[in-house]
Structure 1
Amino acid sequence: MAKDQGFYMHFEGFDGFDKKIDFDKKQIRRAMRQSGRAVQMAARKLVAKSVRSQPGAYPGRRTGRLQRSIKLKVSRSGFLVRVAPQLTSDMKQFYPAFLHYGVKRKPGGKRKAGGKGGGSNRVEPRGNYMVDALTDRSEEVRRTLQSAFAKALVIK
């Protein structure tokens, strides 16, 4: 057997990895902010209707507090964006949670002074506008992030 046996393997698409690769996190942070803004605007649009909301439908707008409370935050590393309703100073309780999960009636029904008769929920759960906003904008978010990662990797 010869001592100099070996093999050579080549992978397409990885040419240039022997050079220096530069990664620009500013591009990613910018794309995350743009993607988060798109989802934020879509979610605000879903709760902007000035009609009384029905169980299972999106919440209606009376004061605009819920709409204004939908905010975005990019993480310190820049690889995560969080779009969600936030507790604001003009909210006594976290109102979006009441809309998402619903509110049960007080126990006792008609027997107690504080209870109300009838069904089990005082406020029925409303539609999940945040998930639907992300689903509606998922293709746009994917395209934005894909192009940002392509721009962020620079082979020198």
Structure 2
Amino acid sequence: MSNPDYNVHVDFTLVESAELNRKKLRKTFVKIGKKIQATSRALVSKKQVSKNGDYPGFRSGKLSRSIGYKVPRPTSRRPGLMVLVMPNVKGGNNMEKLMGPYYPAFLFYGVRRNAKRGKSHKKGASGGTPWRIAPRGNFMIDALNKESSWSKYTLAKELVNSMKQVKQ
């Protein structure tokens, strides 16, 4: 899967010294995470059978409910100014554990027939397509791309608002 990196550049004038209000900024990351989570859930909530290249269809709702967001706590090694949005993220909002292997990977990469080697190694012996589950569209990347301009604008605006002047 491709991993897009988004950079936000903000210009502002500093008086003498300023301090970043991380609490305010973390709330913005929560807001961005909720928005991308809602968009990605909407992409997989169509109640129809999905076809090759489409987004996964909605049958039981487990995939949709498993999409969560998480703003990690700051530690000595990381500042905690980021948000993770993905299916089956631990600590995500309305989290429901998917059963077995990582199901979204099967949807993205697909599964070929006879993926496990058995006694018969004949490929395509059953005829038809070699796919057991054809690859589906990547709903997470598309949700991120759909909300990227809004999230960049929101983050840039909040970066300027969260800077506070330090009195010396």
**After TM superposition, what 4+ stretches of structure 1 lie above 3 angstroms from structure 2?**
87-90
Partner of 1:16: 15
What is the percent sequence identity of the aligned residues? Answer: 36
* Contact 1:71-1:83 within 8 A present in 2 as well: yes
For structure 2, the 5+ residue unaligned runs are 1-11, 74-78, 90-95, 115-120
Partner of 2:122: 108
Instruction: Provide the aligned length of Structure 1 versus Structure 2.
Output: 138
CA RMSD, 1 decimal: 1.8
Q: Give the TM-score of the pair, scaled to structure 1.
A: 0.80
Tell me: CA distance 1:154–1:61, structure 2 relative to 1, closer, same or farther (3 Å).
Answer: same
CA apart distance, 1:143: 1.5
The AA in structure 2 aligned to 1:24 is: N
Secondary structure, counterpart of 1:68 in structure 2:
helix
CA distance in 1, matches of 2:159, 2:42: 28
Secondary structure, counterpart of 1:127 in structure 2:
coil
* Contact 1:32-1:80 within 8 A present in 2 as well: yes
For structure 1, the 5+ residue unaligned runs are 1-12
CA distance in 2, matches of 1:94, 1:14: 47
> What are the within-5 Å matches in structure 2 for residues 1-156 of structure 1?
14=13, 16-17=15-16, 20-76=17-73, 77-86=79-88, 88-106=96-114, 107-109=121-123, 116-156=126-166
CA apart distance, 1:86: 0.8
CA apart distance, 1:152: 1.3
